[in-house]
Structure 1
């Protein structure tokens, strides 16, 4: 069985209207690190994810979406 996931962080940031450099500063990561989270190159650590979720007015669970289950 293979589970596929989609990362929604980039879309949630867009919806928020906040600037990425501002978000990165507030969650104490570099803009480059934030980009890696958006592109699903890295998993976001729990503490950082909780800060980001609070800023984006969403839940940590909203960052990832199961898209396929074979």
Structure 2
């Protein structure tokens, strides 16, 4: 069994209505970093994920979930 992380960061950010440049400024990261999170190309650190969740007015577990996949 393989565990896979599925990001919902993009969905949650879009739903929040906050702009990428605002989020980047608040978290002291680049706009490119926020873009990469939204597209699932990279993930925030554990600590940053909690700050992001607070900024987005959600819980950290709403930003991602884990699915189990069969090994091929």
TM over 0.5: same fold?
yes
Aligned match of 2:53: 53
TM-score, reference length from structure 1: 0.84
**Which sections of structure 1, spanning at least 5 residues, go unmatched?**
none
Partner SS for 1:6: strand
Q: What TM-score does the superposition give when structure 2 sets the normalisation length?
A: 0.82
* The structure with more radius of gyration: 2
Which segments of 5 or more consecutive residues in structure 2 lack a partner in the other structure? none
The answer to which structure, 1 or 2, has the higher relative contact order (CA under 8 A, 6+ apart) is: 1
After superposing on structure 2, the runs of 4+ consecutive aligned residues of structure 1 that deviate more than 6 Å are: none
